A and B are shown apart, each in its own frame.
Chain A
């Protein structure tokens, strides 16, 4: 019960802090990804291809939104807590480090839910034929966990706030544009295809696209994302210093 209270308090602190940051959140979570959807649509070529690609562009925009909120934004918050002394303040409390991480993860899930639902509504309004299945939920959860783990690793290892925020920004956008998220794997250079096939955004985009078309066959993507989430979160958790040596 105490652990749950701690998690809720950490989540509420982040949520209340967001009141002053609603504008940037809308930009990162909705405006940029929606803009990318429209941009991709506009440059996608013939009408036939355009129709086929719409779903992939929407799935790509959802991944882009998750990447910006979970890697860049959450990484930024973790960096801010670390480099402005807030983490030091939290460490004076009898607060379990796992509660802190969990509270931050809950905050990331809420952000992800808000932005994904809004993007799905926007997609519907723009005429994208989506039939999401329940499998979308675990796919999104594991994607958010993997991204949060990456943000946590950067936040824990960065030597300065500037270095860390540059890295989270670069990774947040880079992972999306280096993976076959907005375009097909076949259109990538052969040398990049193998490497990019192992990026979390590749698995996430493929799984989101499948679940949005009413599919359930995402077990291999779930396993891959699960392993990545486990690896990145374990590392991020291990590297987060609650107590100095």
Chain B
């Protein structure tokens, strides 16, 4: 019964998918994950007892080192992977027992997926819009809107196989956005994109959130997580070890002041980094060492990440623009 009501509501929305969503037609909780665990056949425990709530209109970022279990976690939400234990609800629908119904409420961008290279960009978007249940007219409108939003208008008539990796990535993101679903699940959506494309994708994601959609994305970029997210989760070794707003996460570390300085005795060496609990401690340290070249900053998400996971993002990974 709940399923039918939700699908009917979404169908009403699909009937006019390109009008802004003003009325709250969906339940306040977009995603409810309880005790989700995934153990693969080879014994690898990719996720262990994860609980997570995503509210309607909220953007959640999931951070974690490579192999931490981020993609496994997202794939269980998108119903691609069956959890070993636990439950996943999408707008109160049981996604494990009703995957098709749940997918009608989601736009999904997998981390790795192939696209049909012989189709033109426009054909690809229109056919997938039809597969998402849009009418012919809405499929055309949706495809045009996606191409405009993601700067793909010039490529509309080009075959997908002739496009660059970044353009193909944008198509994958566009496919998720097509019917303006109330929930977007994006697995590393901006990996491999140039700064301009990344800004365009951020713009589209922000707009979707403004219009009432919920977004859950995984990312390797600290700046992306900091700029876009309402709340951030950190997964390592299959466990969600931290979850909250940026301010809440910053309170998780005791040494919240960062001093970057150049050692007087080693003027050609690389920058040194040291953390302190208070500003006074930093000042004492600077005075004691008689430092002349230094900078002081409040701890960032990257510092929280380092403190919690013991791993530091590489320069390349943390640079997003």
Contacts and interface: CB of A to CB of B under 8 A. Distances in A.
B118 interface: yes
Interface string B156-181: 00010000000000001001100000
A93 B110 contact: no
B140 interface: no
15 contacts: A9-B127, A17-B116, A20-B118, A85-B114, A88-B80, A89-B113, A89-B115, A91-B80, A92-B106, A92-B108, A92-B109, A94-B104, A243-B99, A244-B81, A245-B41
Contact of A89 (B106, B114, B130): B114
A86 B127 contact: no
A188 interface: no
Interface string B303-320: 000000000000000000
B131 interface: yes
B306 to A, nearest CB: 33
Nearest to A6: B131
The 9 closest A-B pairs by CB, nearest first: A85-B114, A84-B114, A92-B108, A89-B113, A86-B114, A17-B118, A94-B104, A94-B103, A85-B113
Q: Which residue, B99, B113, B115, B117, has most C-beta atoms of chain A within 10 A?
A: B113
B128 interface: yes
B119 A92 contact: no
Interface in B265-304: none
B133 interface: yes
A121 interface: no
Interface residues of A, number: 29
Given A81-B114, A94-B104, 6 more contacts: A6-B131, A9-B130, A85-B113, A86-B113, A93-B128, A243-B80
Interface string A72-97: 00000000010011101111111110
A236 B78 CA distance: 24
A85 B80 contact: no
Contacts of A10: 131
Interface in A82-128: 84-86, 88-96
Nearest to A81: B114
Interface residues of B, number: 35
A94 B101 CA distance: 7
A92 B113 contact: yes
Given A16-B119, A243-B80, A244-B81, A92 B127 contact: no
Interface string B72-87: 0001001111100000
B93 to A, nearest CB: 12
A94 B106 CA distance: 9
Contacts of B114: 81, 84-86, 88-89
Contacts of A90: 131
B123 interface: yes
Given A92-B103, A243-B82, A243-B99, A13 B127 contact: yes
A96 B80 contact: no
A88 B119 contact: no
A88 B133 contact: no
Contacts of B245: none
B112 interface: yes
Given A5-B130, A88-B110, A243-B80, A94 B100 contact: yes
A50 interface: no
B261 to A, nearest CB: 47
A94 B115 contact: no
A88 B113 contact: yes
A245 B104 CA distance: 21
Contact of B116 (A13, A88, A95): A13
A92 B80 contact: yes
B119 A89 contact: no
* Residue of B75, B82, B116, B131 most packed against chain A (CB within 10 A): B131
A23 to B, nearest CB: 13
Contacts of B75: 244
B239 interface: no
Contact of A9 (B99, B103, B106, B131): B131
B231 interface: no
Contacts of B108: 92
B132 interface: yes
Given A85-B112, A88-B114, A93 B80 contact: no
A16 B115 CA distance: 13
A46 B76 CA distance: 67
A13 B119 contact: yes
A9 B124 CA distance: 10
Contacts of A94: 100-101, 103-104, 132-133
A89 to B, nearest CB: 4
Contacts of A12: 127
Contacts of A86: 113-116
Contacts of A131: none
A159 interface: no
Contacts of B101: 94
